[in-house]
Amino acid sequence: MALQITQSCVNCWACVDVCPNDAIFQDTPHFLIDDGKCTECLGDHGVPQCAAICPIEMAIVDELGEFLNPPGR
C-alpha cells in the first residue's frame, strides 16, 4: 500500500518535510515516493500528510490511480 507522485508535481518540497516515514525523495523530473516506506500514514496520522499539504491538484494518487486532491478540490 503506497501513494505515488504524478507529473503534476512542481518540486516544492512541502511533502518531503511532513512525511512521517521519510518515504519521499528527490528525483528528476519530480519527487518520488518509495513504495517500500510509504504507509499512507496509517498509524501515524488520520490522513496522508503529503496530500494534506500538497498545493497542486492531481499530484498524488493512490494505488487505484485515484487523485487524493482531485481538480476543483
Partner 1 sequence: MELPVISNTPSESEGGGCSSSGCGTAPDALGHLPDHIRAKVQDHPCYSEEAHHYFARMHVAVAPACNIQCNYCNRKYDCSNESRPGVVSELLTPDQAIKKVLAVAAEIPQMTVLGIAGPGDPLANPGRTFETFEQLSARAPDIKLCVSTNGLSLPQYVDEIAKHNIDHVTITINCVDPEVGAKIYPWIYWENKRIFGIEGAKILIEQQQKGLQMLTDRGILVKVNSVLIPGVNDEHLKEVSKIVKAKGAFLHNVMPLIAEPEHGTYYGIMEQPEPTPEMLQDLQDACAGDMAMMRHCRQCRADAVGLLGEDRGDEFTLDKIDVMDVDYEAAMVRRKEVHDSIIEQLEAKRGNAKPKVEDLGIPAESRPVLMAVAGKNGVVAEHFGHAKEFLIYEASPAGVRFISHRKTELYCGGMDSCGDGDVVDAGATESLLDRNIRILEGCEVVLCSKIGYEPWAKLEAAGIAPNGEHAMEPIEDAVLAVYKEIAATGKLLPAVDSKKVA
Q: Which residues bind partner 1 (CB under 8 A)?
A: 10-14, 16-18, 45-47, 49, 51-53, 55-56, 73
Q: Which is nearer to partner 1, 10 or 34 (CB)?
A: 10
Q: Tell me the backbone φ, ψ of residue 50, rounded to 5 degrees.
A: -60, -40
- For residue 39, give the nearest of 21, 58, 55, 18 by alpha carbon: 21
CA 33, 37, 38 angle in degrees (round to 5)?
60
Least Å distance, CB 50 to partner 1, is 11
Least Å distance, CB 68 to partner 1, is 10
Q: Which is nearer to partner 1, 53 or 61 (CB)?
A: 53
Q: Which is nearer to partner 1, 4 or 57 (CB)?
A: 57
- For residue 33, give the nearest of 67, 60, 68, 66 by alpha carbon: 60
